Amino acid sequence: MFDIEKLEKEWERYDRKRRRPRYIMASVLLLIASLGYFAYTEALFQKIIGSTLVEKKDVTQPSSSSESVWKEHKLYTKLLEKNGTNMQVFPADAPMEKEDIFIETIDAKLPKPVVAKEERKPIHLEIHQTSSVDAYKDVERRFNEAPNVEDALFLAKAYFHKGVYKKSESWALKTNKLDPEIEESWLIFIQSKARLGEKNEALRVLTAYLKQHHSKEAEKLLESMQ
Amino acid sequence: MKSRFTPAKEVFVDSVDVEDYIELEASVAAYSLLEESISKPLKMILLFGRPGTGKSILLNQIATKLKYQKEIYYFDTPANQEKEFFQKLFKILTKKALPKNTEVNFSALVDYCKTLRGKREIIILLDEAQLYSAEMMEKIRLLSDSRAVKFVIALHKTENEDLIAKEHFQSRIWEVIELKNASKEDQATYIHKKLLKKNLFEIANSLKKKNLERIHTFTEGNFRECNKLLYTIFEICEYYDENEPSKVNYEEVSQKIVEMAALKLGYIHV
């Protein structure tokens, strides 16, 4: 009879050797899965902080042409002028360097611009609050690298909810510069102004806005402010 | 007390005993072909295949089955010397022993064979023919030319042996029968039939499909290798049964034991 113990040990070595590729394969798979999970969570995190808009808009190609935006700004200014107030407005397509606020007096002789009312698709917004200051900074950095409506609006809303009204006012303004048709940013702008103690100014902007837009939200806000 | 695995182990002792012959689809086909070839007026029939494919047992089987119908003789191992071989042949042909201190005159033997043509038909089954010298093979060829003696030559299939076949027998009228390793199914049938022949039903059932597949992988369907492996498997089972019964499963032979046997026989290495 042969040495069974020796044979058993030999088999154990053989079995370990045979299983080795399986362990390696399992480890590799685990590593891939971990990396995949990490990448997924990272992407999810970026999505949460950076892309709150469900329906994305291409910033590089604004929905309205710069000409129409200019016209709209002129209209706002004119409306406010009628109320005896000069309003600070920003052209949407103005370069970032030209952030200086301009005041334009409407020439009465100018023909009244006709604003074509476009059917706008409702933009659904979701706000995910985060306490991370770094997260806001990341979004701000991203906005500075590539200005876009989504980031600006997100920051406006986020700062407004956090009670940082100076910043929410500023970001709402930046949003309006990029797309003056977003009602939410106008309302944040107005509310921020009101919270900062500039209630009259806020009311004036809101009234002017309401003259151009029949918005229930804006009306509600006006009621609450009066 | 004798282990239940002892008789199973003994089943797989390698032998060419006709009693151990197992009819399989492939072996039945080879047998029929060989039987048919023998009945044809062929001078030589070549039976070849790798070692352990069942050539010897097939020759044995045909010799046993046809011994009452034909003059058939089985030469299991080649004679050490040419002299010995011709003495043996002389005895078969003349039915007389060669007188002492005499030698067979080959030319006279060929002439004698020629006289037997049409009167007798002698069949000589030469196993392990690769061991015969080229000179001997040439003489065998000349004897077969007499048409009184038919030779069934069993050769191992190697490049060298194929060469021998080409050189010596290419121009002769003959039949070639090749035996191959068993398929997975044939080998499984072979193992089961061997065990069942000895009424070892439980042991046969304890060899599961996965065991049989592994055995086929190790032995590549070679019957001799299969016998060796099965013998070792049951030898290990027998050891455990007698010394460490907790390590043996009577319902199912464990793959570990199959692999241990394979390790012992060198089919696998650490």
- Could you tell me which residues of chain A have a Cβ less than 8 Å from any Cβ in chain B? 1-2, 4, 7-8, 10-11, 13-15, 17
Whether A55 maps to a domain, the answer reads no
Whether A10 maps to a domain, the answer reads yes
A14: nearest CA partner in chain B: B270
Q: Domain locations in chain B?
A: 6-20+182-264, 25-179
Interface contact flag, A8 B239, Cβ < 8 Å:
no
Task: Say whether both A114 and A7 belong to one domain.
Answer: no
Task: Say whether both A39 and A75 belong to one domain.
Answer: no
Which of A4, A16, A19 is the best substitution to test chain B (most B C-beta atoms within 10 A)?
A: A4
Task: Say whether both A45 and A86 belong to one domain.
Answer: no
Average pLDDT, chain A: 74
Give the percent of chain A with pLDDT over 90.
22
Interface contact flag, A10 B268, Cβ < 8 Å:
no
Nearest to B27 by CA among B193, B208, B231, B232: B193
pLDDT band at A56 (very low <50, low <70, confident <90, very high): very low
State which amino acid sits at residue A149.
V
Whether A56 maps to a domain, the answer reads no
- According to DSSP H, which parts of chain A are helical? 4-50, 66-82, 133-145, 149-162, 165-178, 183-195, 199-212, 216-225
Query: How many domains does the structure of chain A reveal?
Result: 2
Burial of A16 (0-12, 13-18, 19+ CB in 10 A): exposed
Tell if the pTM clears 0.80, that is, is over it. Answer: no
pLDDT at A134 over 60: yes
pLDDT at A67 over 90: no
Nearest Cβ partner for A11 among B240, B243, B260:
B260
- CA of B98: how far to CAs of A78, B121, B136, in Å? 140, 21, 19
Whether A172 maps to a domain, the answer reads yes
Q: What's the gap in Å between the CA of A44 and the closest CA on chain B?
A: 47
Query: Which pLDDT does position A179 carry in this prediction?
Result: 87
Higher-pLDDT residue of A129, B96: B96
Nearest Cβ partner for B270 among A1, A4, A14:
A14
Burial of B141 (0-12, 13-18, 19+ CB in 10 A): middle
pLDDT band at A50 (very low <50, low <70, confident <90, very high): low
Instruction: Tell me which residues of chain B, numbers 206 to 245, contact chain A at a CB-CB cutoff of 8 Å.
Output: 235-236, 239-240, 243
pLDDT at A111 over 60: no
Which residues have CB under 8 Å from B221's CB, separation 6+? Answer: B180, B181, B182, B183, B184, B186, B187
**Per-residue pLDDT tens over the stretch A178-208:** 888 888 899 999 999 998 988 888 988 888 8
Interface contact flag, B270 A1, Cβ < 8 Å:
no
**Per-residue pLDDT tens over the stretch A16-44:** 998 889 899 999 999 999 999 999 988 88
Q: Which residues of chain B have pLDDT under 70?
A: 1, 158-173
In angstroms, rounded to a whole number, what is the distance separating the alpha carbons of residues A194 and A202?
Answer: 6
Task: Say whether both A22 and A115 belong to one domain.
Answer: no
The predicted complex's ipTM stands at: 0.77
pLDDT band at A151 (very low <50, low <70, confident <90, very high): confident
3.40.50.300, 3.30.70.1430, 1.10.10.10, 3.40.50.720: which CATH number matches B25-179? Answer: 3.40.50.300
CA dihedral defined by A192, A198, A201, A206, rounded to 10 degrees?
30
pLDDT band at A107 (very low <50, low <70, confident <90, very high): very low
Interface contact flag, A14 B239, Cβ < 8 Å:
no
Q: What's the gap in Å between the CA of B235 and the closest CA on chain A?
A: 8
Q: Does B255 touch chain A (CB under 8 A)?
A: no
In the DSSP assignment, the letter for residue A124 is P
Higher-pLDDT residue of A97, B259: B259
Task: Say whether both A90 and A133 belong to one domain.
Answer: yes
Residues of B in contact with A15 (CB under 8 A): 256, 259
Nearest Cβ partner for A10 among B239, B240, B270:
B270
Task: Say whether both A91 and A35 belong to one domain.
Answer: no
Query: Which pLDDT does position A109 carry in this prediction?
Result: 45
B270: nearest CA partner in chain A: A14
Nearest to A182 by CA among A94, A55, A88, A46: A55
Which of B237, B247, B264, B265 is the best substitution to test chain A (most A C-beta atoms within 10 A)?
A: B264
In sequence order, what DSSP letters do the residues of A49-110 get, joined into one string? HH--BSS---TTS-SS-HHHHHHHHHHHHHHHHHTT----B--TT--TT----B--PPPTTS
Whether A116 maps to a domain, the answer reads yes
Ramachandran class of A175: left when φ > 0, alpha when ψ lies in -120 to 50, beta otherwise:
alpha
Q: Which helix (H) or strand (E) holds B177?
A: strand B174-179
Report the 10 Å Cβ neighbour count for B208: 14
Report the 10 Å Cβ neighbour count for B111: 11
Q: What is the CA radius of gyration of chain B?
A: 22
CATH code at A100? 1.25.40.10
Whether A59 maps to a domain, the answer reads no
Task: Say whether both A221 and A159 belong to one domain.
Answer: yes
Query: Which pLDDT does position B100 carry in this prediction?
Result: 83
Whether A60 maps to a domain, the answer reads no
Domain around A187: 66-225
